Structures are given as C-alpha cells and as structure tokens.
Amino acid sequence: MKHLASLIDWNSESILDLIGLAATIKKFPEKYHQALKNKTMLMIFEKPSLRTRVSFEVAMTQLGGHAIHLDAKDSPLGEKESISDTAKVSSRYCDIIMARLFRQEDIIELAKSSTVPVINGLTDTFHPCQILSDLFTINENKGRLKGLKLSFVGDGNNNITHELLLGCPAAGMDISVGCPKSLMPQKWVVDIAMKKAKTSGSKITINNNSKEAAKDADVVYTDTWMSYHVPKNEKIKRVSLLKPYQVSSDLMKLAKKDAVFMHCLPAMRGYEQAEEVIDGRQSIVFDQAENRLHMQKAIILKLLGKM
Ligand code: CP
Ligand code: NVA
C-alpha cells in the first residue's frame, strides 16, 4: 500500500513523474472526469484550512468521485477512539483518506492501520502536497528544476521548510535556508535531506543570515511566522525574533533578476513579507494555490493505481 506521509521515501523519479502527470491533468482536465466514479475520499481535519480542504474536495468532484469533510472535533478521534480504529473503520467505507493532523506520528499510525492510501494534508512537521505542487509550479514557471536555487527565509523549524529540504534535493535543486538560531530545521530531517542531496549532487546550506540565503536565488520562499500549531501567546516574541527575516523588496533584489516569490499561504502582509512583495510582479503565490488542485488529482490517481 502506497501512502504520502512525507517526501522522505519519494525519490526523484516518482516526484518528476507526478509533476508530469499534474501538467497533463491541468492541460486536459476533462479526460479524467470519470476516473474516480463512485470513489470516496475521507478528509479529516484537526486544524483549519482553506486551500487543502477546498482543493481536495474540488479534485474529487472533478474526478467523478466524492469527498467527505470530517472535523476532528465532531468525531471520537483521539479521545474515545484510537487513530488505529479510526483508520480501520474509515477504510471499510472509503477508498482513500486525507488527514491534516498535529502530529506526524499520528499520520504514520493512520497509514499503518489503514487498508486504503493515506495522504498527509499537513502536520506540524511536513506538508508534502504543498511542496509537490510548488515544484510543479516552479517547473511550469522556469521550465526546469535541476540546478535552480531556492532560498527559504523565515521560520526554519517548520513543516514547509522541512518538506522543501526533502523535495528540493530530490528534484536536483539547491536549497539555502536563512532562519533564527532558535528556529533551525530539525536535525533528523536535515540528515535525510543531506543524503538526498548527496545522491542528486544538490547543495544544502542552512545559516542565520537572510541576505546570504537569498543571494542569487531563483526562488525566494517564505511562510507564516505563526503556523497553526504555534500557541497564539507566542506572537509578540516571534514577530521580534523573525522581523530580520522578513522578505522585503530589498531582500528580493539580492536574488536573481528573474527570481520568483513563493508562499504556501495563508500569508500575513507586513509580517513574513512586505505587501509590495506578495502583491508585486515577482509573486506567483496564486499559481501555487491553483496548482494544489492539479497536483492533488495526480497524487490521488497515482495512489489509487489509476495511472
Ligand atoms: N497552503 C495550505 O495548505 O493552505 P490551507 O492551510 O488553507 O489549507
Ligand atoms: N507552516 C504553516 C503552513 C500552512 C499551510 C502552518 O503550519 O500553519
């Protein structure tokens, strides 16, 4: 049974294959309108969402199937019912499960006990659907991935940063992270990323200097300073810690002339990026958001063995 818990065990070939399929689906969506007739996806959410919820539900509708939204608060999950029992019961009704949970361990547990494919729709540690869509978006914009440099500036101990650290080297891209000392990516993720980089010949640099990270980048990427799982009372402390890592117009000038600005969204203008950056000509954030739909169709079809 193949799942998508993170990009840890997805190699370069399987990622490029998904990007190719997403491009075909985007170009000829009508060809796939009956692909998942009578198939049902269960979508479990422990955290809020706009893009993930809507794009997965639309994807299932456009593929001829159906999606059920289950707010974890409205289910016995975690309190009266174990993750394992939830997986076993849901597998008897549904053909595929997508879950947005707090703990990565819970996604792994869900996948272990499920007899149908499980997709991680974001945990505190990883966000594979986002980064696959982003690689597709970069390829669409630049015409290639290999040899490009992506710079991530901001919260380094973050699901987006972690997944970029796995996805970029697998796609043959260099990645440079600039983040505060107290918000560095988790070491075990960096170790896996380094192994991927060794195989592909990509370069990974992690330091505490946003200018150094952004230098000569093809892509400048940032993410919220207040991820869903971060307690709200940490806001003031985080804003002052992360302020030097804001993506400003000046920082964008250090990247290549034709560099693009990316953000998985939701974004807070005036915090992780200046308003003129996210709303400026280099920003491709809404292409990123749209491509979640096309990439997730590709992911679902692959995991269900339809392609
Ligand atoms: N980028 C993303 O996953 O957005 P949502 O939190 O709105 O799903
Ligand atoms: N790091 C962000 C990503 C949102 C899509 C969060 O976890 O809230």
User: What pLDDT was estimated at residue 82?
Assistant: 94
Assess whether the C-beta atom of 264 lies below 6 angstroms from ligand 1.
Answer: yes
Which whole number is the average pLDDT over 174-191? 98
Question: Would the pLDDT of 173 be above 90?
Answer: yes
Place of tokens 């600005």: 261
27 Cβ contact partners less than 8 Å away, ≥ 6 residues apart? none
Task: Identify the structural domains of the chain with CATH numbers, from first to last.
Answer: 12-127+292-303 (3.40.50.1370), 130-288 (3.40.50.1370)
The closest ligand to the CA of 43 turns out to be 1
Residue type, 168: C
Q: Average pLDDT, whole number, for the chain? A: 97
Assess whether the C-beta atom of 229 lies below 6 angstroms from ligand 1.
Answer: no
Banded model confidence at residue 70, pLDDT cuts 50, 70, 90: very high
- Residue 50 CA: which ligand 1 atom is closest? 7
Which of 124, 125, 127 is the pocket-test mutation for ligand 2 (most atoms within 8 Å of CB)? Answer: 127
Assess whether the C-beta atom of 242 lies below 6 angstroms from ligand 1.
Answer: no
Lowest mean pLDDT of 72-86, 138-152, 231-245, name the range.
72-86
pLDDT tens digits along 244-299: 999 999 999 999 999 999 999 999 999 999 999 999 999 999 999 999 999 999 99
**How deeply is 277 buried, as exposed, middle or buried, from its count of CB atoms within 10 A (0-12, 13-18, 19+)?**
buried
Question: Would the pLDDT of 307 be above 90?
Answer: no
Measuring CA to CA, which residue among 204, 201, 146 is closest to residue 176? 204
Q: How many CB atoms lie within 10 A of CB 130?
A: 26
Residue nearest to atom 6 of ligand 1 (CA): 49
Contact 101, 107 (CB under 8 A): yes
- How far does the centroid of ligand 1 lie from the alpha carbon of residue 129, in Å? 10
Measuring CA to CA, which residue among 211, 215, 104, 108 is closest to residue 163? 104
What is the 3-state secondary structure of the chain? CCCECCCCCCCHHHHHHHHHHHHHHHHCHHHHCCCCCCCEEEEEECCCCCHHHHHHHHHHHHCCCEEEEEEHHHCCECCCECHHHHHHHHHHHCCEEEEECCCHHHHHHHHHHCCCCEEECCCCCCCHHHHHHHHHHHHHHHCCCCCCEEEEECCCCCHHHHHHHHHHHHCCCEEEEECCHHHCCCHHHHHHHHHHHHHHCCCEEEECCHHHHHCCCCEEEECCCCCCCCCHHHHHHHHHHHHHHCECHHHHHHCCCCCEEEECCCCCECCCECHHHHCCCCECHHHHHHHHHHHHHHHHHHHCCCC
Which whole number is the average pLDDT over 10-29? 97
Assess whether the C-beta atom of 23 lies below 6 angstroms from ligand 1.
Answer: no
Banded model confidence at residue 77, pLDDT cuts 50, 70, 90: confident
Which pTM does this prediction carry? 0.98
Give the CA distances from residue 120 to residues 28, 61, 108, 149, 296, in Å, rounded to whole numbers and listed in that order.
26, 19, 9, 26, 11
User: What pLDDT was estimated at residue 41?
Assistant: 98
Question: Would the pLDDT of 306 be above 90?
Answer: yes
Strands 219-222, 260-263: pairing is parallel
The answer to whether 292 is a known catalytic residue is: yes
User: What pLDDT was estimated at residue 18?
Assistant: 98
The closest ligand to the CA of 129 turns out to be 1
The closest ligand to the CA of 130 turns out to be 1
Assess whether the C-beta atom of 130 lies below 6 angstroms from ligand 1.
Answer: yes
The answer to whether 223 is a known catalytic residue is: yes
Write down the catalytic residue from 3, 127, 162, 294. Answer: 127
Question: Would the pLDDT of 78 be above 80?
Answer: no
- How far does the centroid of ligand 2 lie from the alpha carbon of residue 230, in Å? 10
Question: Would the pLDDT of 164 be above 80?
Answer: yes
Measuring CA to CA, which residue among 86, 111, 100 is closest to residue 9? 111
Question: Would the pLDDT of 79 be above 90?
Answer: no
What distance in Å separates the CA atoms of residue 58 and residue 160, rounded to the nearest whole number? Answer: 23
What distance in Å separates the CA atoms of residue 240 and residue 223, rounded to the nearest whole number? Answer: 16
pLDDT tens digits along 85-132: 999 999 999 999 999 999 999 999 999 999 999 999 999 999 999 999
Which residues does a 6 A CB cutoff place in the pocket of ligand 2?
Answer: 122, 158-160, 223-224, 227-228, 264
